[in-house]
Every structure is written in C-alpha cells, then in structure tokens.
C-alpha cells in the first residue's frame, strides 16, 4: 500500500504528527550571539542538553535521549575526522549540517519502515576573523534554518528551538523586540532566561501571544525552583582554540 | 563506535579509511638506511621541581651530518594539562602528537568527561607499539617523554617511554635523544650534589638548570643545537602544573643566560 504515492504522503504526514507530539514537551533552548561569544541557555531538570561538538561548535537538542546521543556522536565523529585529516580550520558547521546531518535525518524520516530520529537541534558556530556567528536550527526531517550567518547583511543575533512551533515563534518575537547587542554576559543570560520562559509558557498555551513582563518574571521564578539553569559560552576570547565553556550559574 | 561500544578515535579513523593499519613487523633486511634520509630531532629533558614539571628541548633537527632545521619545536602541548617532548623522527612524532591531541579531545567531547591520566599515558604507549614495525626497520623511531598534571591526585606526573611503548613513571628526571648522556649527567649531579634537590627548586633555579643541561649537551653532541644568540633562537621551555601549561618567554631565558655569562666573567682566568 505504501507504494501508492498518496499513501506515502499520508504515511509521512502521520509520522510528522507522531514526532511533533513526541517533541511537544521539549524545554526551549536559546542561543544569543554577542561580543564575548555565543551564549546557549536552557533550563534542565534531569539531563544535559547542551554539548560541545568541536572547537568552535556547540549543540543543544530536545527529543529522545537515544536519538540525540546518536546525532551528537555523528557530529563529533564527522567534525573530529575532518579536523584530523585536514585541519581544525576546515571544520565548518555549514558543511557538517548540509552534507552529513541533514541528509541523514531526511533519509531516516522518509524511510517509513525504519525509525526516524526524534530530535530537534540548535547549532552554534563562532565566526572566524570577525565573520558573523552562524546559528542554525535543524529539525527531525533534515530541514534547517540559519540566522543568515556570513550570507546575510544583518544576521539575527539569536536562534531558538522549542517543543512546539508556536512557542518557538513567540520566543523569536520576544527576542526581536528585546535589545540584545551590547549586553554584558549576565544581561544576556537574563534575556536568555526570559526568552526561555516565554517559550515555556507558550508551550501549553497555544493561542496566547508573548506574555507580559510580570507573567514572565513570575513564571520564571517558579520554574527555576524546579530546574537548574544550564548555560554554555562559546568564548570568542578563549585562551586556547577550544572555545566551549560551561558556565556555573 | 568500536565493537565494545566505546568510541575510540583511531578506530573511527580506521573505519573511515583515514588511518592505515599498523604495518606487519619485519626484521630489517639489507643494510642500514642511506645516510640523510631521516630527519632526527635531538635532545629533550624533563624534571620535577617545586612548581610542577619542567620540559625543555633544543631546537635542532638533523639528518646525518646535516642540520636540517634550527627552529624545531620538540616540546608539544597535547591538551591543557599534557605535554609531550619528542626525540627521534619528527615525521612520526608530530603525527603521534596530533593523534594524541585529537584522541583526548574526541574522548572528552564524546564521553562528556576528561580522559584519566592512566588512559592518556596508555594512549601514547599504544601509538608507540603500533610503530614498532617501522622502528624495527630503522624508520620513524620515536622516544618521547610525557608529562601531565593529574587532577585526581593533584600532582604533576612525568613518564618516559622506550621505542616499544613501555612507559616508566619517573620520580625526578628524564632525558632522551642524542644529547641525553650529557643532560643526564648534569641533572644527576645537580640533583645529588647541588645546593638543593630538583624537587625543592623554584622556577628560576629550574629554568637555569634546564638551560645549563642543554648547553652542556650542545657542547658535547654535534646534533644538539646551541643557543643561537645572533638568530635569537632559544630552547623551548614549558612548565605544566595545576594551572595548566606555561611557555617561558625568550626574555626570561635571555636573562638566565646573561646571569650565567656574568658569573663566568667574574671567575679568574687561568
């Protein structure tokens, strides 16, 4: 039955719904780019969600832990092998995602007899020599979006992922209205946590817009009692070539 | 991932066809290699002092009677807390250092924890063992020294290796390469009969001792490079301790040399 094109499209649609449902509870992740580097922030209850992929690349992911682990390993292996055979300079997020990760995800997603990856990812790469930072979100079907990176005249200084699309778009709306450039690290962490709270609030309230400042701060305080802030900095001024650093909050 | 489920960087490379399998071991056939076909890095030393482990090397690389290069870096930083000094064939040694560096990073990233000191020491041992086949044929012999700060024991440790990959933990000092007999003599003397044992020396004294040992080696061994004050090429001296790795700037070395020269001038001439 799957051989019929209509059935195939239907099967893909079902699969999409199933995966979206599985991801729906995913706690948001925020990346903010600034003068001192890229800050990744989220609130975690039970497991680590932010990871180092290579010298200048970090990843945050929501979804099934087993799938996240496999994708994380793929990223580390591809970047590590490239960095060893050529050089660390030759490792790039754009190539990692467009040649390795995205085709892998698309393939698994569309092979409807096999299991798809239940994961949504956010990648960040520090720009070299004054180039803009690349922030990229990659979905379970292999589709990805970037902040523009070096291709854009005005790349957005943030990227977000969340369990639901509505929640992610509310976070983006909130961040577009918030001043991000020129902030200190603590101020950016604060903005990041507010954006996380916006995402967390709108996960359950589908029809709401961006919540008011009071709602945000009340909900944020309540949530931080239950979970721990997980934050990572890709340090633009790191003393060694490894830029990934966990921040103690 | 390997069959045991533990990701290992060399295995990953082999699986991708990037790293060749170690060649089978053959007894050497025919005579020795023609003179001049191998570049060799020469004298290196390392010892423990009050402020961690100091590692130093001259800058010369030779091939037979030729000086190939006079700015060779033989003391290499593997990660934030590990140093490796190489004597032998740089072609092999630098590749080993690169492999180690990538292996440690790969392990840390994939396992979300730092590799243990024991694991790091073994990793180098395994690379040397994979190299036995080449070494037996007289190609690519490497005799490294490895030093690292071990956070678990809060202690800087020092190891030397033989060609076959056996590792030996050292209590006080290690030296390798063509100038090592002189270096050993100087260090042994300083440790046993000097004003105080090396373990009690401060950084200034330790640097001075390292420079004197290398200078002595350069006097006695043609393959060890002396200080080229004209070209401003000084030995490479690095220190590893709980704060990480420090490379001593040339200015500090120059000062130490100048003080030694001054002392020599004040001595009566025969």
Chain A environment of B80 (Cβ under 8 Å):
240, 242
Tally of structural domains, chain A: 1
| Tokens 């190891």 -> residue | B159
pLDDT > 70? residue A79: yes
Distance of CA A200 to the CA centre of its chain: 15
Assigned domain for A67 exists: yes
User: Any chain B CB within 8 A of the CB of A48?
Assistant: yes
Chain A environment of B247 (Cβ under 8 Å):
none
CA distance A65 to chain B (A): 14
- Residue range B120-174, pLDDT digits in tens: 999 999 999 988 888 888 788 899 999 999 999 999 999 999 888 889 999 999 9
User: Any chain B CB within 8 A of the CB of A81?
Assistant: yes
CATH number of the domain residue A57 falls in: 3.60.20.10
Interface contact B102-A51, CB threshold 8 A: no
What are the structural domains, with CATH classification, of chain B?
9-18+39-261 (3.60.20.10)
Q: B3 pLDDT band (50/70/90 cuts)?
A: very low
Chain B environment of A73 (Cβ under 8 Å):
1, 7, 110
**Spatial distance between the Cα atoms of A148 and A153, rounded to a whole number of angstroms:** 8
Assigned domain for A23 exists: no
Q: What is the dihedral of CA A41, A46, A50, A51, to 10 degrees?
A: 160
Nearest to B190 by CA among B43, B48, B44: B48
pLDDT > 50? residue A97: yes
Is B269 a catalytic site residue? Answer: no
- Residue range A58-69, pLDDT digits in tens: 999 999 999 999
Inter-chain Cβ pairs, chain A and chain B, closer than 8 A:
38
Nearest to B180 by CA among B144, B152, B206: B144
As separate numbers, helices (DSSP H) first and strands (DSSP E) second, chain B gives 7, 13
User: Any chain A CB within 8 A of the CB of B80?
Assistant: yes
CA distance B58 to chain A (A): 25
CA distance B156 to chain A (A): 21
Least confident of A125-134, A191-200, B24-33: B24-33
**Spatial distance between the Cα atoms of B179 and B211, rounded to a whole number of angstroms:** 13
Assigned domain for A21 exists: no
List of residues 6+ apart from A204 with CB closer than 8 A: none
Assigned domain for A50 exists: yes
- Residue range B71-92, pLDDT digits in tens: 889 999 999 999 999 998 888 8
Compute the C-alpha angle A10/A28/A48, nearest 5°: 105
- Domain containing A146 equals 32-247
Q: Beta-carbon neighbour count of residue A28 at 10 Å?
A: 29
B11, B39, B42, B269: the active-site residue: B42
**Spatial distance between the Cα atoms of A56 and B5, rounded to a whole number of angstroms:** 27
User: Any chain B CB within 8 A of the CB of A35?
Assistant: no
- Residue range B19-75, pLDDT digits in tens: 877 766 665 565 556 555 677 778 999 999 999 999 999 998 888 888 888 888 999
Assigned domain for A8 exists: no
Q: How many residues does chain A have?
A: 249
User: Any chain A CB within 8 A of the CB of B12?
Assistant: yes
Nearest CA in chain B to A55: B105
| Tokens 């004040």 -> residue | B266
pLDDT at B1: 43
- Residue range B166-225, pLDDT digits in tens: 899 999 999 999 999 999 999 999 999 999 999 999 999 999 999 999 999 999 988 888
Assigned domain for A26 exists: no
Distance of CA A172 to the CA centre of its chain: 13
Assigned domain for A166 exists: yes
Assigned domain for A154 exists: yes
**C-beta of residue A151 within 8 angstroms of C-beta of residue A144:** no
């Amino acid at each position: 039955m799957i051989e019929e094109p209509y059935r195939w499209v239907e099967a893909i649609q079902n699969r999409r719904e199933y995966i979206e449902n599985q991801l729906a509870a995913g706690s948001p992740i925020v990346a903010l780019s600034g003068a001192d580097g890229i800050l990744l922030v989220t609130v975690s209850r039970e497991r680590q969600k932010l990871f180092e992929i290579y010298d200048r690349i970090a990843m945050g992911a929501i979804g099934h832990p087993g799938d996240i682990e496999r994708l994380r390993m793929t990223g580390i292996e591809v970047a590590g092998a490239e960095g060893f055979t050529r050089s660390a300079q030759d490792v790039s997020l754009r190539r990692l995602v467009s040649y390795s990760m995205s085709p892998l995800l698309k393939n698994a997603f569309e092979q409807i007899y096999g299991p798809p990856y239940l994961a949504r990812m956010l990648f960040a790469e520090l720009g070299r020599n004054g180039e803009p930072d690349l922030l990229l979100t990659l979905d379970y079907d292999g589709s990805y979006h970037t902040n523009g990176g070096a291709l854009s005249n005005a790349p957005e200084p943030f990227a977000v992922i969340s369990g639901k699309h509505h929640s992610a778009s509310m976070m983006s709306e909130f961040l577009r209205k918030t001043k991000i450039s020129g902030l200190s690290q603590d101020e950016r962490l604060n903005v990041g946590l507010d954006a996380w709270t916006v995402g967390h609030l709108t996960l359950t309230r589908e029809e709401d817009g961006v919540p008011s400042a009071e709602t945000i701060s009340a909900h944020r305080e309540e949530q931080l009692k239950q979970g721990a802030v997980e934050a990572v900095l890709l340090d633009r001024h790191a003393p060694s070539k490894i830029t990934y650093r966990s921040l103690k909050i | 991932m390997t069959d045991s489920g533990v990701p290992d960087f060399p295995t990953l490379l082999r699986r991708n066809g990037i790293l060749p399998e170690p060649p089978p071991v053959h007894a050497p056939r025919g005579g020795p290699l023609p003179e001049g076909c191998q570049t060799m890095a020469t004298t290196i030393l390392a010892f423990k002092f009050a402020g961690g482990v100091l590692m130093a090397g001259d800058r010369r690389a030779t091939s037979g009677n030729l000086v190939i290069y006079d700015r060779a870096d033989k003391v290499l930083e593997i990660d934030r807390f590990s140093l490796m000094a190489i004597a032998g064939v740089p072609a092999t040694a630098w590749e080993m250092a690169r492999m180690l560096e990538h292996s440690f990073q790969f392990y840390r990233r994939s396992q979300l924890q730092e590799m243990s000191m024991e694991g790091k020491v073994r990793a180098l041992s395994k690379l040397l063992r994979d190299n036995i086949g080449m070494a037996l044929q007289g190609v690519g012999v490497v005799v490294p020294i490895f030093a690292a700060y071990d956070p678990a024991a809060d202690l800087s440790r020092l190891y030397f290796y033989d060609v076959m990959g056996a590792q030996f933990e050292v209590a006080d000092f290690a030296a390798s390469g063509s100038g090592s007999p002189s270096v050993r003599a100087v260090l042994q003397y300083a440790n046993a009969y000097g004003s105080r044992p090396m373990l009690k020396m401060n950084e200034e004294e330790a640097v001075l001792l390292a420079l004197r040992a290398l200078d002595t080696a350069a006097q006695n061994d043609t393959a060890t490079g002396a200080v080229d004050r004209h070209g401003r090429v000084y030995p490479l001296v690095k220190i590893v301790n709980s704060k990480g790795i420090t490379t001593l700037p040339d200015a500090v070395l120059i000062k130490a040399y100048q003080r030694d020269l001054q002392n020599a001038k004040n001595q009566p001439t025969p």
